[in-house]
Amino acid sequence: MVVAGPLNVSLTAEILTIGSELLTPFRVDTNSLFLTSRLNDLGIEVIAKSVVGDRPEALAAALRLAVSRADIVVTSGGLGPTDDDLTRDAIVTVAGVTSVESPDVVDAIAKRFASRNMPMPAINRRQAMVPVGATVLDNPRGTAPGLWMPVGTRVIVALPGPPRELKPMWDDHVASRIAAKAGSQRLRRRTLKIAGRGESHVDEIAAPIYGRWRSASPAIETSILASPGQVELHLSAQGTDLEQLDRALDQATGELATALGRAVFSTDGRELEEVVGDALRALGATVSAAESCTGGLLLGRLTNVSGSSAWVTGGVVAYDNAVKIDQLGVAPDVLNDHGAVSEPVASAMAAGVRARLGTSVGVGITGVAGPTGGTDAKPVGTVVIAVDGPGDHHTVRTLRFPGDRAMVRQMSVQTAMDMLRRACAPPDYN
């Protein structure tokens, strides 16, 4: 039997993000998500990531620890021309080498300034200091070149902080070098996206299935990720035989999709608004929406997709009851008898916007997003959603969402999108 699973990992990586602004309460590091994804693609597991500020000792200590435990250490930031830019110095300290000025780099930086008719400031010469043994990685989008610095059998890859410089440098100069180092080990992934089922419900169905795969060959690792109204199952497998990995992952994805049924809305990376858009386009159908508590967010979500004008006609945001009556034709009696947050009103809003805008499908949403406006009968979080069309289809659901105003609105939009998907993509289409 092949020993599989996490033990199979050939190389490990650590990511070090450098910059004091990422140690404030205001910003999170997102470069590391890009880097993790790219490293994983090459079969490399990220074992730790850190953010350090502009203190030379802290940076050197973090870099030293990283090199001691990971095969590949990727840094971002700290390559600029000022005193605060400490990455080059930390590499020199940790690798125990000196640095020399590279005439080629000076030349490249000077040319960059010249192309904008500016003299090169003396301070930028700092960026041309290259640790002995390092390879310079060209940066056509900025003055800071990257560095590829072998340290024994390991390597430090120093990249600039701005994502628009970091990403192309990775793809153009780093990926192929890392791939050569990683050998033929690869990691492949699949994602099942699920709506309308809670995390524990999904796990109850999925765990008995994916539980066996950890000790299979190739081993498949499964993780579950929940966000409001959506659950994702992430499958990954490592190995050298890509065809075998893909075959195993496709079969595993199929097994889970069958067990979870219609709750699975995509296995190919598409987001819910793309799935809904594709279903509407396949039907030659158009959609409109009448929104109260979500205030336009459902239409905003539907129109997230480029080309959505082919299936989204428009809609009405009816925050005020007068708008529900005048623009959507909701009968004042229905509003009086049942209240604005009721199934008859949601249904009338859906049918009203569908008729007024002449679309194949209409969606109506009315609810109490809170934190004020709740009553005993209709507490904060009560939301009613109706889908009218295509054809004779009509569904209306009363829901009770937990959480704050933003959460109630987000869950409402997500649920409406899922109801729309189920209305437009009957089982045959899915």
Interaction residues for its own copies, span 296-335 (CB under 8 A): 296-300, 302-304, 306-309, 312-320, 322-323, 326-327
Q: In this complex, which beta carbon is closest to its own copies, that of residue 53 or of residue 133?
A: 53
Q: In this complex, which beta carbon is closest to its own copies, that of residue 124 or of residue 294?
A: 294
Contacts of 152 (CB under 8 A, 6+ apart): none
Burial of 34 (0-12, 13-18, 19+ CB in 10 A): middle
Distance CA 354, CA 394 (A): 12
User: Which listed residue (47, 175, 285, 335) binds its own copies by CB under 8 A?
Assistant: 47
Shortest distance in whole angstroms from residue 107 CB to its own copies? 27
Q: In this complex, which beta carbon is closest to its own copies, that of residue 120 or of residue 408?
A: 408
Shortest distance in whole angstroms from residue 326 CB to its own copies? 8
CA angle 211, 219, 198 (to 5 degrees): 40
Tokens (6 digits) for 41? 């693609």
Q: Which among 419, 374, 364, 363 has a CA at the least distance from the CA of 400?
A: 374
Shortest distance in whole angstroms from residue 50 CB to its own copies? 4
Hey, which residues between 218 and 257 contact its own copies (CB under 8 A)? 223, 225, 232, 234
| Structural contact between residues 136 and 107, judged by C-beta atoms closer than 8 angstroms | no
Tokens (6 digits) for 96? 């125990």
Shortest distance in whole angstroms from residue 18 CB to its own copies? 10
Beta bridge partners of 236: 189, 221
How big is the site for its own copies, counted in residues (CB under 8 A)? 75
Hey, which residues between 111 and 140 contact its own copies (CB under 8 A)? none
User: Which listed residue (42, 51, 263, 264) binds its own copies by CB under 8 A?
Assistant: 51
Helix (H) or strand (E) holding 2: none
Shortest distance in whole angstroms from residue 132 CB to its own copies? 27
Q: In this complex, which beta carbon is closest to its own copies, that of residue 133 or of residue 228?
A: 228
User: How many C-beta neighbours within 10 Å does residue 131 have?
Assistant: 23
Hey, which residues between 56 and 95 contact its own copies (CB under 8 A)? 57-58, 61-62, 65, 68-69
Q: Is 167 among the residues that bind its own copies (CB under 8 A)?
A: no
Shortest distance in whole angstroms from residue 416 CB to its own copies? 12
Shortest distance in whole angstroms from residue 72 CB to its own copies? 14
| Structural contact between residues 174 and 149, judged by C-beta atoms closer than 8 angstroms | no
User: Which listed residue (4, 46, 95, 202) binds its own copies by CB under 8 A?
Assistant: 46
For the stretch 169-177, contacts whose Cβ atoms lie closer than 8 Å and that sit 24 or more positions apart, written own/partner, are: 169/137, 169/138, 169/139, 170/34, 170/35, 170/38, 171/38, 172/138, 173/137, 173/138, 173/146, 173/148, 174/74, 174/137, 174/146, 174/148, 175/38, 175/42, 177/148
Hey, which residues between 340 and 379 contact its own copies (CB under 8 A)? 356-358, 369-373
Tokens (6 digits) for 62? 């973090």
User: Which listed residue (205, 250, 405, 407) binds its own copies by CB under 8 A?
Assistant: 405
Shortest distance in whole angstroms from residue 109 CB to its own copies? 20
Backbone angles phi, psi at 82, to 5 degrees: -95, 175
Q: In this complex, which beta carbon is closest to its own copies, that of residue 253 or of residue 286?
A: 286
Q: In this complex, which beta carbon is closest to its own copies, that of residue 25 or of residue 152?
A: 25
